[in-house]
Amino acid sequence: MENGRATEPMETRLRSRVIAYYNMLHSGCGNAGCTNANCASNPAFSALSSQVALQRAIELVKEDAPLCRVGSPTDPSGLISLVESSPVAVVKEHVQQVFANSRSICESFPRATEALGPVVATFSALQSLNDASVTEALLQRLQRIGSLTADRIDNVTLLAIYIVLQNEMFLDPSSHSVLRTLFDALHTVTRAQREQLERWMSQTSSSDIGRMVAIVQTFISVKWALGPRMDEIGPAARFLGIVYSANVHMGEPVPYTEFHNELVNAELDVKQDFIDWHESDGFCFSRSPYLLNAATKSSLMQFDAMLQMRDQLDEALMRYLFHHSMDGPAPFLILQVRRSDLVADTLHQIQGRNSDDFKKPLKVKFIGEDGIDEGGIQKEFFQLLVKQLFNPAYGMFIVDDETHTYWFNKDSFESKHEYELIGAMLGLAIYNSVILDLHFPLCVYKKLLNSPVSFDDLRSFNPSLHRGLQQLRDFDGDVESVFCLTFSIEYSLFGEVKRVELCPNGQNIPVTKENRERYVELFTEYTLNTSIETQFSAFKYGFEMVCGGAWLHLFRPEELELAICGSPELDFHALEAAAKYENYTRDSPVIVNFWKVVHEMTEEQKRRFLSFCTGSDRVPINGLGSLRVPFIIARNGGDSDRLPTSHTCFNHLLLPAYSTLGKLRERLLTAIQNSEGFGLM
C-alpha cells in the first residue's frame, strides 16, 4: 500500500508529460519560427497521425527531450484538436487538467471576460464527441467547483463558474444536479460580484445571452414540473436576473419576452405567490418579475385590487353589524353623472377623495336613467369619458398625424385637475378590469414608471421631429450656415410667436457641428419632459392616487400599456369558445355561418369587427375569452336585408337570421366597413 501511494504522484506526472509532448507533436507550440525538431510548429516538421504522435510522445518522455513551454497543457485550442483526432483517453486526461479547479479554468480561458468564443467552442467540441466517460469526467470536475465553495466565493471561482455556465450540456436535465450546485454557489455573491458578472455578460453577444437564458429556463421548467422545487428554482431565478440586467444594459438584443417562463406563467398560483410576496422573505416569482408575462402580472394586480376592495366591503359590513350604522365611508365608489356634463360631474366627484376610496368597487349611475351597473354602464361611462377628454377640440392633447398617438398639449388652457382626472381614470380602469382604447406612445408609460426617456423615444410619437433631428446629427456639411439654428425654439400660438430658450442666452448661441449633440439632447429634454411638466405631473399624480401600490413596479412600460389598453393579438377561436347566445344556439345554421365568415376575415376586418361589437380593436390581456362583459350574439328577427347592429357597451351583437352564407357575409362586412368604433372593452 505504501508503494502504491508513492507511485501515484509519479504516474500523474508521467501522464501529464505524455500529454504535453503529444500536444507539441500534434498541435505545436504556436511559435511560427519554432526550431524544436519534435514540435508541429516547426516549418520542417512532418505531420504525424494521432497514434504515431502518442507513441512518439512516450518515447520523448523516456528521452527527456526538449519540450516547448509556449503551449499550455490547459490550452483549450489543444483540447479542441484532441477531440478531433485523439483517443478518448487522451481527451479525458486533458479535460481533467483543464477543469481541475477554478484557477486552471480561468488560466485556460484567459480572455473569457472579453469573448466567450473559445469557451463555447471547447464545450461544443466535447459535446460532439458524445462519449459518456468524457462527459462524466467533465461534470464531476464542475460539480466539485460548485460544491467546494464557502459561504462567500472568491473572484477566481466567480469567473470559473461564469465560464462553465456556457456549457450547453446543461440543457440536458441529467446534468441539472451539477447545475444546481453552481447556482447555489452564485447565490452568495456580493453586490460587487453581481455587478462584475453583469459587466462580463455585457461584453458578450446576443447568442451568448440567449444561451444562458435557455440553460436557466430549461432548469427552472424541469424543477417546476417536478414539484415545484422552489429551493432550487430560487437561486436559478436570481442568476437569470443578473442575465436580464446585463441584457438591458446591452440594449436588449434578446427580447424581454424570452425571459418569461411559459410553464410557470401557465400554472402559477397567483394568489399564493402574492401572499408569499407580502408575508415572507423567501423566494417568490413576484420578486423575479422578468420571469412573468404581462398577463400574470395583471392577475397579481387584479388580486391586489380584489383584496383592497374586499377590505373596504368588510369594513362597511362590520360597521353595520356592530353599530347598526351605515354612516362612514361607503363600500363602493359611486359616481352619479349626467351625460350632458360628464367631465364636470366626474371631476367634481373625484376631487377630494382619498386613495382608499379609489380602491373600492366602482359603480356608475347616469342621472335620470334606470339600470344597475353590472359592468355595461361602467364600460359606457369610460367610453364616453375617453371620447370627450381626448377629443382634440377639448385642447388637452394633440394628435400626431403620422402615428395617431396622443401627446400632452403644453399650451393647454385646462387646469391640472383635468389631467389628474385622466390619470385617475386610467387607474380606475385597471382596478375595475376595464380596457381603455387609448393611443399613448410608449414613452408615456416609461414616464409613469420613472424610466428614463431619450432621443429614440421621440420616434414613437413624433417621427417627423425625430427624423429632422437625426438629419441634423448626420449632416456632414456646415451645420451653422445650412440649418441656421440657435439654442432656442420658436413656434406660433394663436398668431403669436413664442420663443423658448433651451439654455441661458440660447437664442444667441448658434448650433454648430461641435455642439449639435448638446442641442439635440436639450431639445429632447424640453419636448419629452420640461415643456409638459405641469400637465404630466398632474396626470401622474392622478394615476398614482389610484395605482400607487408596489405591484406597479413589476411592470415594464410595454406591459403596463397592455394592462391598460389590452393586447393587439387576436384569437377569435377563444372568442367563439366563450360566446353566449340569445334565441340562437351554438349549432344554429346562422351561427355556424357567422363563425365561418368571421374566421375567414383578414386581420384588418377582424379588428373592425371587434371594434364594431365591443367599441375597441384591442383585446384583454388574458385574451378574447376573458371579456369582462361576455360577448353575446342575439337573434334580431328573421331573414332580412337589414345590417347587423351592436351595443358596444354590452358586447352585444344583434344578428338577423340571414338565410344564406353569402348574404350573411355581405351584410356583416358592410356593417363593419361602414362603422367607426371608438371606445373600450
Catalytic residue set: 649
Quick count: other Cβ atoms within 10 Å of Cβ 640? 14
CB atoms within 10 A of CB 226: 11
CB atoms within 10 A of CB 119: 22
3-state SS, one letter per residue, for 614-664: HCCCCECCCCHHHCCCCCEEEECCCCCCCCCEEEHHHCEEEECCCCCHHHH
Task: Look up residue 547 and give its three cell numbers.
Answer: 395605482
Cα 424 to Cα 81, 295, 555, 563: the distances in Å are: 66, 22, 18, 15
Measure Cα distances from 431 to 427, 514, 552 in Å: 6, 50, 12
462: amino acid identity, one letter: N
- Spatial separation of the C-alpha atoms in residues 294 and 317, rounded to whole Å: 34
> What amino acid is encoded at 661 in this protein?
L
Output the CA torsion sign for 190, 192, 194, 200.
negative
Return d(Cα 87, Cα 17) in angstroms, integer: 16
* Closest-CA residue to 255 (of 211, 295, 206, 218): 206
C-alpha to C-alpha distance for 235 and 357, rounded to whole angstroms: 40
**Helical axes 88-98 vs 117-129, angle rounded to 10°:** 140
